[in-house]
Structure 1
Amino acid sequence: MPPKKKTKAAVVTATTTSTRSTRSRKQQDDASSVISVESVKTVNSTGSAKRKRAGSMSVTARSTKKAKESTETWWEEVAGCSDAEILDGEGFQKWIEDLGLDPSGMFMYLILYKCQAKTSMTITKEQFVRFMDSIGVKSNSQLLTVLSALLSDIRPATAPHPNPNFKPFYKWCFQHFKPEGQKGMPVDFAEIILQTLLDPTRYDPTWVSEEEPTKNEQFPHVDAFCEYITQSDPRPVHVINKDQFEQFYEFNLAVSWSAVEHSEDSAWPALIDSYVTWKREKYPA
């Protein structure tokens, strides 16, 4: 039986089907080609990104290592030897001299506080490196350029605008400088600490000690109070406790030199009340 002759419609249908099939295969091939190309691009892009990230991480790691080495090299210069793990009194003294600062100024107090030293008047290599890295300082010269700002940040100020950063520093100093295992600070040592911390002029890097110190205008009770606790006979106390130390700062903010703001009903420690009585007799306003 001869094959049926395709009608025009059948030919068109077959051709269309064939064309569609051909187009479909071509589209699939093209799609596969596109997918393949895109896949290669994606792989190449991913590989490139990974290489970039790896390179970036490598640079960062090298930079971190270099920065650490730089800070540690500076530590070796400050501490005086490559294997030193602490910097204590004598080391601080030499460092202060190398910086050209007055040893009676605020530098040592500042560094101990910023490094959060755990042992009295001693910082460790780890504490030093951590703090200096946090402020991006790698040498004595760089430290001197930011020293004024660091000191200003903790400088005391009286009402109506006391510095909120000073009080935590002031309270920290009592805990740091009092004898280990003791609740209070001997009055002779407390005198030095109070006259240093509550003297705003010492927070200037250019400050130098004078034979005749200037009057403390912002905290006028400091010198008189220190005279009272160290030179009275008998002394009112032999040690200053935490509450007396902290409240003395608050007292200076609230009570002027004339002490007119103070009354018997004031909730100050008994030591401060007795100081006011003594002061009114010896230094009447």
Structure 2
Amino acid sequence: MAPTSTSQKAMTTQFVQLTGASDRTAQRYLKNAGYKLNEAVDAYFSGGSGTSTPTTSALDTSLNQMFDKLRDDSRDEKNTLGLDTTMAYLGDLGVNIENAELLVVMELLQAPSVGEITRKGFVDGWKASGAATRQAHVSHIKSLVSSLSTDPAYFRKVYRHTFVASKEPTQKALNLEIATVYWNVLFSPPGWEWKTKNQEWLQLWLKFLEEKWTRSVNRDMWNQILEFATKSMADETLSFWNEDGAWPSVIDDFVAWCKERGIGKSETMDLDA
């Protein structure tokens, strides 16, 4: 049955433009998806069309065209959206660049640095998510952001990519000041809050760094902080830690600093704890 409303007809036109399919095919997929454009396009590009190579090509073309429309010829390279263009794009999508929403998009599009999006990252990221329209991008980002604080595996992906995107390309470590900024962002809403019933771990960690740590943050330290945060969330007594463990020295120092303040178990830790 053909769409009867103006909005449904507009969706049919959009579907055809995005996929290169016929009106009849567009109407069939839209009807099956309850006239939800994103779901219909996703179903089409997931193989339901029966012609995987042309559909992949059509989606690539559509996303490349979208990327080109975003580009500012006067300041962006052919295959890269610079800082100003990226921020404008994120603003158009309703992304809050002051919190972890920014880092969600940077991971999704595999941004080489915060505030920069490559053509390949843009096309590959949105193609993998099946989001072929601006509204689909908005919806998908909201879905990812909502899972950031509830899906540990997904949070880990965003957390680890943040290290890559926030350091200078030629450097192997993060400046401590920059690392502190991103720890604050990642471990605060809508990210994963690093705190327990009795302890504000993020604030303790930042205070420890301010008092005791002056060196840069390498990848291992960055990754191990998340492992420690995860364990401290499950056990605020820190009984999982022992001095013969494989934790980086900075974490050993942090635990000692905490114990001096009556945080965690005060007695000698069992090696098998």
Q: Please, what TM-score do these two structures have when normalized by structure 2?
A: 0.63
Aligned with residue 241 of structure 2, among 255, 262, 268: 262
- 1:154-169 superposed matches below 5 A: 155-156=148-149, 163-169=152-158
Name the structure 1 match of 2:227: 250
Q: Distance in 1 between matches of 2:218 and 2:175?
A: 9
Name the structure 2 match of 1:100: 94
Question: How far off its partner does 1:152 sit?
Answer: 4.6
Q: Distance in 2 between matches of 1:134 and 1:79?
A: 21
Structure 1 runs of 4+ off > 6 angstroms? 56-60
CA RMSD of aligned residues (A): 3.4
Question: How far off its partner does 1:57 sit?
Answer: 9.4
Greater relative contact order (CA < 8 Å, ≥ 6 in sequence): 1
Aligned with residue 201 of structure 2, among 213, 216, 221: 221
Question: How far off its partner does 1:269 sit?
Answer: 1.3
Name the structure 1 match of 2:110: 116
Which runs of no fewer than 5 residues in structure 1 stay unpaired?
A: 1-55, 205-214
Deviations 1:145-190 (CA, angstroms, capped at 9, x unpaired): 222333355x255xxxx72333344233223322223232111111
**What amino acid does structure 2 have at the position aligned with 1:193?**
Y
**Contact 1:88/1:123, CA 8 A, preserved across alignment:** yes
Q: Distance in 2 between matches of 1:91 and 1:195?
A: 25
Deviations 1:164-223 (CA, angstroms, capped at 9, x unpaired): 333344233223322223232111111112122233x2259xxxxxxxxxx743694222
Q: Distance in 2 between matches of 1:275 and 1:260?
A: 14
Name the structure 1 match of 2:218: 241
Number of aligned residue pairs: give it.
Answer: 210
**What amino acid does structure 1 have at the position aligned with 2:175?**
P
Q: Distance in 2 between matches of 1:93 and 1:244?
A: 29
Question: How far off its partner does 1:271 sit?
Answer: 0.8
Q: Distance in 2 between matches of 1:112 and 1:191?
A: 18
**Contact 1:86/1:123, CA 8 A, preserved across alignment:** yes
Name the structure 2 match of 1:175: 164
**Contact 1:220/1:257, CA 8 A, preserved across alignment:** no
**Contact 2:113/2:167, CA 8 A, preserved across alignment:** no
Deviations 1:24-65 (CA, angstroms, capped at 9, x unpaired): xxxxxxxxxxxxxxxxxxxxxxxxxxxxxxxx999974x555
Q: Distance in 1 between matches of 2:50 and 2:224?
A: 51
| SS of equivalent to 2:241 | coil
Name the structure 1 match of 2:259: 280
**Contact 1:74/1:138, CA 8 A, preserved across alignment:** no
Deviations 1:214-250 (CA, angstroms, capped at 9, x unpaired): x743694222212221x21xx4232112222111111
- In the alignment, does 2:186 pair up with 1:197? yes
**Contact 2:185/2:191, CA 8 A, preserved across alignment:** no
% identical equivalent positions: 19
**Contact 2:86/2:117, CA 8 A, preserved across alignment:** no
Aligned with residue 72 of structure 1, among 51, 61, 64: 64
Deviations 1:76-123 (CA, angstroms, capped at 9, x unpaired): 343345974211322222122222231112333223222333455422
Question: How far off its partner does 1:138 sit?
Answer: 2.7
Question: How far off its partner does 1:258 sit?
Answer: 4.0
Which runs of no fewer than 5 residues in structure 2 stay unpaired?
A: 1-48, 265-273
Q: Distance in 2 between matches of 1:60 and 1:275?
A: 54
**Contact 1:92/1:108, CA 8 A, preserved across alignment:** no
**What amino acid does structure 2 have at the position aligned with 1:240?**
V
Distance 1:120 1:281, change over 3 A: same
Which of structures 1 and 2 has the bigger CA Rg? 1
